[in-house]
Amino acid sequence: MGTNIPIFNGSGDVVTWATRVKAKLISKGYKSQLLDGKRPADADARALWDTQADKALGTILTYMNPDVTVQFENATTPQTLMEAVVKHYSPDINQEIERLEGELRDITYDGEEPVAWVAKIRSIIAKLTIRNNPPTERTVRAIVLKALEQESEYKIRVEVIRYTQPNINLVDLWTAISRFPYPLGDNESALINATKRLSIASKARKRDKKEGKTHKIEKDKIKPLKCHNCKKKGHRTKDCPKDASSNSDTEEDKKGKSKKEEKTKSKTFTYFAHEVKPAVSETVKIGMKDTEVFTPK
C-alpha cells in the first residue's frame, strides 16, 4: 500500500484521492480494467481480465475505510467502483471552488519550512485547476507575498522580490521562496538590506517626481570639491588657479607674441631671372605688401 495515498473515510477531497488511486492502479498494469469496463469476448482473455479486475478492486478497497466500503458492495469492476465513490462524495462543484478559493485567499505563514508551506499552496492551486478554475499568477503572487511579509524575518526579502521582479512567474517565485533562510534567525544579509534601501529610495524618487516634489540638498552633506592638480579643496581641476597663473600672459608678452606671429605669417617673395646674372634690386608693391624684386642688369 502506497504511503502517499490516504485512507478515504468519506471526508476530504475525493477527487484528489481518486486521482492518486488511479495512478497507482495504472502503474500496476490495471489500466484496461480501470478505464474500460467491457470484458473480452474470448474465454481465456475474459478469465485473465476478471482476475486482474479482482486485484484492482482489492487495491482500491485497501485505500477505503470499511464504513465507506460497505456502501459500494454492488460495484463489480474497478471503473464502476471509482465512478460511484467520486459521484457519491463529490460536493457541489461551485461550493467546492468557493471553498478552495477562500482557503487560498486566507492562507497565512505560520513559521513552517518554506518548501512545505509552498507545497500546501500548490496543492490548492492544483485542486482548483482540476475543477477548471485555476487562479491567475497575479492573484497567487499577491497572496503569497502578502502572507510571507507578515514574518519580520522575510519582510525584506519580499520587498526585494516586489521591487526587482514585480512580474515574477510562479516557478521562479517557488524557487526564490525555497531559498529563504530556515530556521528563522536574527541575521540578514547586508546585500539584501542595501538592495531594499536602494529599491525604496528609487520608488520614492519616482513618486516624488510624478507629484512634482523637489528635494533640497543640505550643504553639510555635500562633499567639498577637490582639485587633482594642486590637491586643494574648493575648486575643480579645470578651474585650478595654478593653471590660470601659469597660462596668463602680461600685456607686453601678448604684444610681443602678436608681433612675432605677424613676422611669422608675413612672407617675402623673391623672383629671380631665368639666368644667373648680376642683378639690381628694387622694391615694388604687390597687393598690400612691399616686395623686393631682383632684376638682371
Instruction: Name residues whose C-beta falls within 8 Å of residue 184's C-beta, 6 or more positions apart in sequence.
Output: 111, 151, 153
Domain of residue 60 covers 14-89
Q: Give the pLDDT of residue 281.
A: 57
Q: What is the mean pLDDT of residues 1-17?
A: 78
pLDDT of 68-82, one tens digit each? Answer: 888 888 888 888 888
Mean pLDDT of the chain: 76
How far apart (Å, rounded) are the C-alpha atoms in residues 269 and 146?
A: 92
The three cell numbers locating residue 47: 478469465
For 226, phi then psi, to 5°, come to -130, 130
Smallest CA-to-CA distance from 110 within 101, 121, 100 is with: 121
The total of structural domains in the chain comes to 2
Three-class secondary structure of residue 285 per DSSP: strand
Query: Do 105 and 179 share a domain, yes or no?
Result: yes
CA distance readout (Å), 164 to 10, 172, 187 = 46, 13, 22
Evaluate if residue 139 carries a pLDDT over 90: yes
CA–CA dist 176, 170 (Å, integer): 10
Residue 67 lies in a domain: yes
Mean pLDDT of 175-188: 75
Query: Domain check: are 81 and 106 in the same one?
Result: no
* pLDDT class of 275 with cuts at 50, 70, 90: very low
Domain assignment of residue 266, yes or no: no
Give the domain-ending residue among 89, 108, 143.
89
- On whether residue 290 sits in a domain, the answer given is no
Cell of residue 109, nine digits: 505563514
pLDDT band at 3; cut points 50, 70, 90? low
- Asked if 67 and 159 sit in the same domain, the reply is no
Q: Are residues 98 and 85 part of one domain?
A: no
